[in-house]
């Protein structure tokens, strides 16, 4: 897809019957595109500009204009389109800062008020000192990056155009592939937005934020291990302040330590307290994870006062390890769980019978299938994990077998048995698990007769 500059050069060469109408539309789309990045809608405006190429110059009409605008509205909504096309032109960092802060404050019903703390932060961010290219962070780097980013917003470039301009600017200084410059361009906007969200949370009185990953086959291990986790707002405030302090001192290493780009394959694991430099996304390059306001019960209150299922669910969310007494109760609840219906149970038996036989677990009847589940759930040399799927809490009991890993899954929320099957060698939960918290469980056994 061509960038905006190419689109406009092409458009200017087109002669149409109603030149005034065309120029007005072109200008509105160009202005909209220069603002639209703040709403995640740049592509809609870029596509609209390109769509004008397909219109017969002698037949351009009000209906064509209405159709193009309707296409934008269908993709991003009427309010975002109106703000992009009619709102005031503001500086890049001011705009993205306000958008991030508004998004954070809105769920609590609070209107974000731009204050002195924001102005001080923006004084740093408008210099773009927080962005470095490789090992280069000096006056020349700042001038190059600032100039390219300023043109990006003033001219309405695509991210691809900005990346290409950065690549050209650092030719012979920092030799990188095009992907590197695309990542740099993306990170510039993402970090600014996330810094602003902390201020929005503060004004809204939010005490905890929830990490919200985009869960699909491309979700990285680090984002999967953080998805659903609750982080105290004080943790984010400390990280933000350490990062901005490092920026103000021009200390690149301190800034990187305060807010590093992590290994996407890393699993953060459990523990009540996250490392001080893990809090705000992006956690890695091309990170799609965000934070959102958490307005539910305080995790500490849940730990003290909630019933078993709610406490265990919070432990799964926080990737905490439960004490032995709770694991014993989980085993007991799993042993008393029943199938939702016999047809469902028989379906699982028929589906997994042959694989189970390969692991040495021979089950021909539903009674034998249940006995095999009981045997795995209560024996002391298996592992226990908690997981959350679609808002329900599950327990997974597993044991390594020569042919793979034998797994029994029980829906603790509803007291229902879910499956006994053989899976691959990986000890991780399946992609269906939104949150996965290993509990060890070795040595925890409860015999029931």
pLDDT in tens, 437-447: 999 878 777 65
Work out the mean pLDDT of the chain and round it to a whole number: 77
pLDDT computed for residue 331 by the predictor: 94
List Cα–Cα distances, 22 to 81, 429, 432, in angstroms: 19, 56, 50
In a shared domain, residues 213 and 175: yes
Q: Report whether 122 contacts 192 (CB < 8 A).
A: no
Tell me: do 119 and 34 sit in the same domain: no
246 and 117: one domain? yes
* Residue 76 sits in the same domain as residue 98: no
Tokens of 277: 């430099």
Torsion 30-32-37-43 (CA) sign: negative
Tell me the pLDDT tens digit for each residue of 147-173: 665 565 556 555 566 666 666 665 544
The two tokens of residue 389 are 């799927």
Residue 58 is predicted with a pLDDT of 62
In this structure, are residues 270 and 264 in contact, taking their beta carbons and an 8 Å threshold? no
Where is the domain boundary, 26, 51, 86?
Answer: 86
Residue 32: inside a domain:
yes
Tell me: the pLDDT tens digits for 299-334?
888 878 888 999 999 999 999 999 999 999 999 999
**Is 423's pLDDT higher than 70?**
yes
Q: Given this model, what pLDDT does residue 134 score?
A: 40
Q: Rounded to the nearest 10 degrees, what angle do helices 178-204 and 159-169 cross at?
A: 120
Read off the pLDDT of each residue in 219-225 and give the average, rounded to a whole number. Answer: 91
Q: What confidence score (pLDDT) does residue 308 get?
A: 92
Give 276's pLDDT tier (boundaries 50, 70, 90): confident
**Residue 108 reports pLDDT greater than 80:** no
Q: How many domains does the chain have?
A: 3
Joined tokens for residue 105: 């404050």
Q: Does the residue 41 lie in any domain?
A: yes
Q: Please, which residues bridge with residue 387 across strands? A: 394, 436
279 within a domain of the structure (yes/no): yes
Q: How far apart are the first and last CA of the chain?
A: 68
* Same-domain status, 80 and 97: no
State whether residue 232 is helix, strand or coil. Answer: strand
d(CA 388, CA 395): 9
Structure tokens at 298: 């305080």
- DSSP designation for 89: P
Which of 235, 268, 294 corresponds to the end of one domain?
Answer: 294
Whether residue 62 is contained in a domain is answered as yes
- 3-state SS assignment for residue 295: coil
Angle between the N-to-C axes of helices 92-105 and 116-125, in degrees from 0 to 180, rounded to the nearest 10:
140
Query: Is residue 119 domain-shared with residue 262, that is, in the same domain?
Result: yes
pLDDT number for residue 15: 32
Among residues 67, 86, 105, which one ends one of the domains? 86
The count of other CB atoms within 10 Å of the CB of residue 385 is: 22
Q: Which SS3 state, helix, strand or coil, does residue 130 take?
A: coil
Cβ pair 248, 268 in contact under 8 A:
no
Mean pLDDT of the region 185-190: 66
One domain for residues 122 and 264: yes
Nearest CA to 395 out of 379, 372, 374, 418 is that of 418
* Structure confidence at residue 211 (pLDDT): 93
The answer to whether residues 309 and 393 touch, using CB atoms and an 8 Å cutoff, is yes
The answer to whether the beta carbons of residues 279 and 229 sit under 8 Å apart is: no
Average pLDDT estimate for 280-290? 86
Picking from 99-108, 224-233, 375-384, which range would have the lowest pLDDT averaged per residue?
Answer: 99-108
Do 416 and 309 form a contact (C-beta atoms < 8 A)?
A: no
pLDDT of residue 47: 73
> Are β-strands 290-294 and 208-212 bridged in parallel, bridged antiparallel, or unpaired?
antiparallel
* Model pLDDT, residue 182: 53
Token pair of 177 as six digits: 């592939």
Please check whether residues 247 and 143 belong to one and the same domain: yes
Q: In what order do the strands lie in the sheet with 383-389?
A: 416-423, 404-411, 392-401, 383-389, 435-440
pLDDT bin (cut points 50, 70, 90) of residue 121 is confident
Local confidence band at 143 (pLDDT 50, 70, 90 cut-offs): low
Q: Are 46 and 115 found together in one domain? A: no
The verdict on 57 and 110 lying in the same domain is no
Question: Which pLDDT score, from 0 to 100, does residue 138 have?
Answer: 45
| Bridge partners, residue 71, by sequence | none
On the question of pLDDT at 88 being above 80, the answer is no
Instruction: Using the predicted structure, report yes or no on whether residue 388 has a pLDDT greater than 60.
Output: yes
Q: Does one domain contain both 271 and 375?
A: no
pLDDT at 9 over 50: no
Range of the domain at 320: 311-440
């Amino acid at each position: 897809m061509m960038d905006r500059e190419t689109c406009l050069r092409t458009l200017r060469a087109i002669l149409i019957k109603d030149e005034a109408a065309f120029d007005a539309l072109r200008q509105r789309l160009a202005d909209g595109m220069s603002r639209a990045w703040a709403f995640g809608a740049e592509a809609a405006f870029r596509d609209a500009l390109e769509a004008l190429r397909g219109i017969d110059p002698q037949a351009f009409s009000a209906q064509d204009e209405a159709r193009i605008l309707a296409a934008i509205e269908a993709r991003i909504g009427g309010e975002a389109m109106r703000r992009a096309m009619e709102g005031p032109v503001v500086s890049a960092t001011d705009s993205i800062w306000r958008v991030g802060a508004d998004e954070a404050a809105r769920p609590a019903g609070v209107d974000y008020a731009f204050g002195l703390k924001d102005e001080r932060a923006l004084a740093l961010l408008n210099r773009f000192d927080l962005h470095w290219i490789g090992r280069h962070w000096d006056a020349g780097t700042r001038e190059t990056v600032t100039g390219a980013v300023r043109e990006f917003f003033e001219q309405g470039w695509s991210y691809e155009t900005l990346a290409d301009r950065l690549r050209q600017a650092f030719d012979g200084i920092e030799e990188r592939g095009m992907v590197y410059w695309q990542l740099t361009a993306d990170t510039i906007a993402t970090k600014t937005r996330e810094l602003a969200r902390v201020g929005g949370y503060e004004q809204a009185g939010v005490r905890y934020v929830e990490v919200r990953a985009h869960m699909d086959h491309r979700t990285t291990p680090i984002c999967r291990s953080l998805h659903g986790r609750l982080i105290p707002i004080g943790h984010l405030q400390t990280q933000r302040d350490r990062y901005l302090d490092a920026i103000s001192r021009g200390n690149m290493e301190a800034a990187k330590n305060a807010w590093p780009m992590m290994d996407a394959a890393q699993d953060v694991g459990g523990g009540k307290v996250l490392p001080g430099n893990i809090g705000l996304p992006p956690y890695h390059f091309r990170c799609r994870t965000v934070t959102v306001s958490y307005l539910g019960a305080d995790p500490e209150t849940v730990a003290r006062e909630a019933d078993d299922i709610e406490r265990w669910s919070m432990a799964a969310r926080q990737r905490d390890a439960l004490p032995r007494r709770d694991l014993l109760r989980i085993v007991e609840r799993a042993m008393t769980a029943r199938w939702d219906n016999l047809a469902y149970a028989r379906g699982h038996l028929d589906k997994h019978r042959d694989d189970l036989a390969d692991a040495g677990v021979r089950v021909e009847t539903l009674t034998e299938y249940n006995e095999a589940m009981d045997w795995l759930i209560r024996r002391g040399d298996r592992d226990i994990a908690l997981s959350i799927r679609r808002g329900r809490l599950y327990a997974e009991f597993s044991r390594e077998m020569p042919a793979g890993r034998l797994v029994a899954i029980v829906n603790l929320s509803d007291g229902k048995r879910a499956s006994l099957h053989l899976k691959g060698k990986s000890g991780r939960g399946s992609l269906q698990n939104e949150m996965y918290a290993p509990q060890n469980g070795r040595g925890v056994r409860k015999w029931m007769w």
